Structure 1
Amino acid sequence: MSATHTPTDHRRNVLRRRIRWIVFATIGYNLVEAIVAITAGTIASSAALVGFGLDSTIEVLSAAAVAWQFTRRDPERWEKSTLRVIAIAFFALAAYVTATSLIALISRVEVEHSPVGIAITALSVVIMPFLSLAERRAGSELGSATAVADSRQTLICTYLSGAVLIGLVLNSLFGWWWVDAIAGLVIAVFALREGVEAWRGDACATSVGMILEDPADPHH
């Protein structure tokens, strides 16, 4: 179904500024998240936490690509190349999570209780969905495939946060060290699929169409 609403030039400028602020906030939060998670993971000998922190750097790459695009005079001109960067970020995330999950399952490294790790992953589970939703709505109304793709990257990172959080809690309570590794493998499959669709450039258009078909006011 074709879109029934086309933003005015003023509205498009508002949406572009909104997307810039969202990705700047995402970059800032993920930089802090990466430092805290990698430090806590190193102290606790947690491959999951270290992987979570390194994943945050991939999210920074994706958000930075979108931020760069929307500082250009003609953002639409850079749509395809930015989508490719986001796709590569998805592939890197899938590869890394798969590798670290398999290593964790094979090596069975003893992981110490990490209150800081639990706190940062729990905070991410709360914050990241709001950033993802805000960027997806703005990107959908603007018709920006890259903004929608980046919002999906943020959402995948939210799932990873939840998986690591569950793994840390269950490991602390019951010694179930393998839970976050299994969840990581499942997330890697989704990340790979999103990467393929972003590379093709067609998945984001599907998401845009689905949201524009929503009877809710797009300005809401």
Structure 2
Amino acid sequence: MADTRQAVLTRRVRLLVAATITYNLVEAVIALAAGTVASSTALIGFGLDSVIEVASAAAVAWQFSGSDPEARERTALRVIAMSFFALAAYVTFESVTALFGQDRAEHSTVGIVLAAVSLLVMPVLSHAQRRAGRELGSASAVADSKQTLLCTYLSAVLLAGLGVNSLFGWWWADPLAALVIAAVAVREGREAWRGDHCC
């Protein structure tokens, strides 16, 4: 790959990572606040997922801040893998607790709007970062794009869970769907740990 093209792609990955970090910080604050007000395990879990996504994106930002990003890739992949595992553990724990405790969250308009906005924003960020990462040959950028894509799935689950709970009172739909997300997170974590995301 020509040095000029590599520099352009590296700059693009940095910008996309910065956008991901910024969006997820805002998302985390809103979700955690709305989740606390509504006593919603799903919203709080979504907010914590946003914090984990910031850690994943920060690992990629750290990798590309050095003069030799390839030398830092293995460490960045390990951080991303651990963030997937942490997310899976948290979502599983909270989902099982919610199911057995029959925790019922209150309606949250803020949560529904946040999930809908994330459902629109996250696929765009994920696609752009994955495309740049693949062309650059960076497994960590591709892995981080999958972390962002996982947020899209989680946004859909959150939206469905909050919507079904608000409309029909089916409190159990949200934790069950979240368990599926946890299983996907474990799979993605394994791939990141092995470096299978590229290219």
Normalised by the length of structure 2, the TM-score is 0.98
2:113 to 104, 113, 119: 119
> Which residue is equivalent to 2:197?
204
Aligned residues between the structures: 199
What is the CA–CA distance in structure 2 between the aligned matches of 1:169 and 1:40, rounded to whole Å?
Answer: 15
For the residue of structure 2 that corresponds to 1:204, the secondary structure is: coil
What is the CA–CA distance in structure 2 between the aligned matches of 1:19 and 1:185, rounded to whole Å?
Answer: 31
Q: Which amino acid aligns with 1:63?
A: A
> Which residue is equivalent to 2:148?
154
How far is the alpha carbon of 1:110 from its aligned partner? 2.2
What is the CA–CA distance in structure 2 between the aligned matches of 1:70 and 1:31, rounded to whole Å?
Answer: 20
What is the CA–CA distance in structure 2 between the aligned matches of 1:79 and 1:64, rounded to whole Å?
Answer: 13
- The answer as to 2:74 corresponding to 1:75 is no
What is the CA–CA distance in structure 2 between the aligned matches of 1:200 and 1:111, rounded to whole Å?
Answer: 38
How far is the alpha carbon of 1:180 from its aligned partner? 1.4
Q: 1:79-98 alignment to 2 at 5 Å?
A: 79-98=73-92
For the residue of structure 2 that corresponds to 1:113, the secondary structure is: coil
Q: Give the structure with the higher percent helix.
A: 2
- The answer as to 2:99 corresponding to 1:105 is yes
Cα deviation, 1:120-167, whole Å, max 9, x if unaligned, reads 011000000000000000000000000000000111111011101100
Q: Which amino acid aligns with 1:180?
A: D
Kindly, what percent of the aligned residue pairs are identical?
Answer: 63
Q: Which amino acid aligns with 1:83?
A: L
What is the CA–CA distance in structure 2 between the aligned matches of 1:65 and 1:195, rounded to whole Å?
Answer: 14
Moved over 3 A (4+): none
Q: Which amino acid aligns with 1:192?
A: V
What is the CA–CA distance in structure 2 between the aligned matches of 1:84 and 1:54, rounded to whole Å?
Answer: 19
State which structure, 1 or 2, has the greater radius of gyration over its C-alpha atoms: 1
- The answer as to 2:160 corresponding to 1:166 is yes
What is the CA–CA distance in structure 1 between the aligned matches of 2:156 and 2:98, rounded to whole Å?
Answer: 17
For the residue of structure 1 that corresponds to 2:66, the secondary structure is: coil
What is the CA–CA distance in structure 2 between the aligned matches of 1:16 and 1:89, rounded to whole Å?
Answer: 23
What is the CA–CA distance in structure 2 between the aligned matches of 1:108 and 1:184, rounded to whole Å?
Answer: 15
What is the CA–CA distance in structure 2 between the aligned matches of 1:112 and 1:184, rounded to whole Å?
Answer: 18
What is the CA–CA distance in structure 1 between the aligned matches of 2:103 and 2:96, rounded to whole Å?
Answer: 12
Normalised by the length of structure 1, the TM-score is 0.89
Give the gaps of 5 or more residues in structure 1.
Answer: 1-6, 209-220
What is the CA–CA distance in structure 2 between the aligned matches of 1:167 and 1:77, rounded to whole Å?
Answer: 42
What is the CA–CA distance in structure 1 between the aligned matches of 2:168 and 2:112, rounded to whole Å?
Answer: 15
> Which residue is equivalent to 1:62?
56
1:181 to 170, 175, 190: 175
What CA RMSD, in Å, does the superposition of the two structures yield over aligned residues?
0.7
